[in-house]
Amino acid sequence: MEEMLLELEQKCAVCAACELHTGRTKSVFGVGNPRSPLMFVGEGPGEQEDLKGQPFVGRAGQLLDKFLNAIELDRTGCYIANIVKCRPPKNRDPLPEEQEQCIAFLREQFRLIRPKMVVCLGRIAAQRLISPDFKVTLRHGEWILRGESLFMGTFHPASLLRNPRQKPDAFADFIKIREKLRELTVNS
């Protein structure tokens, strides 16, 4: 499975299926442990991610790491990917047609990794993967069964940097993630 992921990552690095390829320094395929039952999905790379080729490495990424550490996890205990693999200009939302082109990579990642829990970080990922009318402020922390995987939407770490008052709600979601992970580990 790791080899197939690597092949897919190499395809992603040279992909020109949508306009976003024209502005990228590096595509950002995904990092972490593909054998973990837990996958996080954000919306797309920002400036630092584009430079380094890794998801969530700027300030928002540092906050994500803090939340992971608070539930005794780090990047070796989960897998992290995005809806689009190349940086949208000026960090705008990825357009529906860009998401549509790029989602094939994420579908393949799902098919190979088969995560049991998928946590959508922010509105774009939650609306794409859970439901088009998903409102993070109303439905964060809710587990929703899709096929054989449980999906949850929670706050994007960048939005938590802008609205620190949402941090306790986000932290409560991470506690639920820890509980579900334990439950799945005990039952597997």
Per CB under 6 A, residues contacting ligand SF4 are: 12, 15-18, 20-21, 27, 84-86, 98, 101-102
Nearer to ligand SF4, 85 or 156 (CB): 85
In the numeric block, which tokens belong to residue 77? Answer: 């205990």
Report, in Å, the least distance between residue 80 CB and ligand SF4. Answer: 16
**Min CB(53)–ligand SF4 separation in Å:** 12
- The CB-side HSE value for 188 (13 A sphere, CA atoms) comes to 9
CB 117 within 8 Å of CB 180: yes
153: which strand partners?
Answer: 120
CB of 48 to ligand SF4, least distance (A): 17
Q: Which is nearer to ligand SF4, 23 or 164 (CB)?
A: 23
Which C-beta is closer to ligand SF4: that of 21 or that of 178? 21
| Dist. CA 88–CA 45, nearest whole Å | 7
Give the span between the Cα atoms of 80 and 52, in whole angstroms.
15
CB of 60 to ligand SF4, least distance (A): 19
